Amino acid sequence: MHWPFSKTKKPIIRSVAKAATVSPKKNSIVKEKVSDKDFKSWSQGSTQVLTLDQRTLSDKAAFCKMFFALITRYYPAASSARWFWKNLCSTAQKVKFEGGSDSQKKEAKQRVNLLDARISPLKSVKGGGMDVLIAQFFHYIFTYGRFAGFLVPDANFTRIEKFQIVDPFSVRFLDDLDRTPYVTKDNREFFKANQATFFYYGLSMDYDNPYGIALLEAAWSIMKMAEEMLDDMRLSSSNAGLPRLHIKITQPDKDDTEDHEDYVDRISTYFDSYVDNLSDIAPDDNFYTWDDVSIGVTGGHTGAGGFIWRNNHQVLDEEITSAFHLYPWIVGKSAQTTKNWVRTQFDLLLIEVSSIQRVAKRFAEWVRNTDLLLGGITSVRSIHTFELPRDPARKDIAIAERFEIENSERKVLNGVISPETGAMELGYDKAHDPELIFKKGKDSEIKTPEHKDSRDNNMIEDKITDLEGKIDSVTDNIDKILTSIENPVNYHPFSGGGE
């Protein structure tokens, strides 16, 4: 077993000059002495287990953290919910800058790029910056229901070195008017958190409960019932077994001339002969027997006569999904759902995602803008944005927006509202060119309802004229037919009645 550390303090490379003589393969890892106790608190992949030591049993916060971590790792419904929420919220992210001159924005961008290069709490993730920190924020939120940490500036307070994530269960709030946060390691000493550098957020936190609520809290009772039902299904399936052949041999009648022992010997020999003949039958062989043998199937019965496990378990799945604020169709457990209902649920889901992303947005802006202030850049402010997931109803939304624009345009052209008010109705701060809509109105085919009525009247007159022309053509054809009847010699069906 090769470890990146050895039991000696002697490094592989002592100096830069000596390093040049060492092959890159040997130069890839530097060994140093580290105590084994430094690794005991780390979870090694999927081998983490719940250790019920004295500290875990006596410390409710420590137990809850380990319990939430294990359940969201090993229980399928909890793991799926955390995976879904985390990745749904961790969409593509961008940063832009407002205020200041172009040179100041350029300087702010360079400083933010340097901050992103060192802000990630996972240094082994190369190229990961603020997006990795935001992903950690969502991971903690949807696992424990809370996230905490503090900014670490350099010694001269000229920049932010990193954001240090702390155990969110080590945070305690004082029962005062400000709900002042304190941080502890052993529940013995409490250190007041610096409000200028400390950050804490909990799901559904409020003034009475500043700690927040984990998603798992509402789902655990139903998850326990689902686990017991799955165990009952396992035992029932094991008892029923796989489908097997059940061969029934009708017992022969006793002959009047034979005694009881001869009769028993005869029917036993008869039974054993069938067992021997059928024991070696292949899966594709056929059965040829007298009519005193019946062959059926037993075990593994899945008909309506048994327990309807699927229906019962589906009810629990829906309850668990609701506890995690999801919808069944999202996790592929939906049945008979209409398109309109799914569309409504998708809109609600995006609203929930946006509300959580707003917290992450403010967190990222707080980190970056604090670094800009330490660097003396006060006129430029960074803006963090998330891209929402692709909306399957984009076409419907575009059509609705087109009608909204046309409606505002009619109001402006009819003098009901001003161009500025029309722009604000459409969600803009002001109209870019207020006179453009009037210029467009002069050349537009439809400017007011009166113009539309005029166009409709013209279309009706055109249809009437076309109808009159068709009537005249039919009248001419009738006259030609009557003429051909009176003078059949000169009539030819393809000559129009002429000679």
Per-residue pLDDT of the chain (499 residues; tens, 9 = 90+): 333 333 444 333 333 333 344 444 444 455 555 555 554 444 444 444 455 555 554 566 677 777 787 777 777 777 888 888 888 888 888 899 998 888 999 999 999 999 988 888 887 777 668 888 999 999 999 888 899 999 999 888 899 998 999 988 888 888 888 888 888 877 678 888 888 899 999 988 888 888 888 887 777 667 777 777 777 777 766 666 667 778 888 888 888 888 888 888 888 888 888 888 877 778 777 877 878 888 887 766 555 445 566 677 677 777 777 777 777 777 666 666 666 777 777 788 888 888 899 999 999 999 999 999 999 988 999 999 988 777 666 777 778 888 888 888 888 888 888 888 888 888 787 777 777 776 665 555 444 445 555 555 667 777 777 777 777 777 777 777 767 666 655 545 444 444 4
pLDDT at 364: 93
- How large is the angle between the packed helices 102-119 and 130-144, nearest 10 degrees? 50
Q: With residue 88 as reference, give the H or E element that holds it.
A: helix 76-89
Q: Which SS3 state, helix, strand or coil, does residue 49 take? A: coil
Q: Which residues of 91-101 are buried (b: 16+ CB within 10 A; e: fewer)?
A: eebebebeebe
Residue with tokens 């003034």: 207
* Rounded Cα distance, 287 and 289, in Å: 6
pTM assigned to the model? 0.62
Number of other residues whose CB lies within 10 A of the CB of residue 173: 16
- Number of neighbouring beta carbons within 10 Å of residue 434: 14
| Residue type present at position 490 | N
pLDDT of residue 134: 92
Q: Spell 176-210 as b/e; 16+ CB within 10 A means b.
A: eeeeebebeeeeeebeebeeeebbbbbbebeeeeb
Q: What is the pLDDT of residue 358?
A: 92
40 burial type by CB count under 10 A (0-12 exposed, 13-18 middle, 19+ buried):
exposed
For residue 447, what pLDDT is reported? 46
The domain ranges of the chain are 1-32, 48-218, 394-447
Bridge-based pairing state of the strands 381-386 and 93-98: antiparallel
The per-residue pLDDT for 54 is 54
Give the C-alpha separation, 21 to 321, whole Å.
Answer: 60
pLDDT, residue 6, reads: 37
Give the C-alpha separation, 273 to 290, whole Å: 13
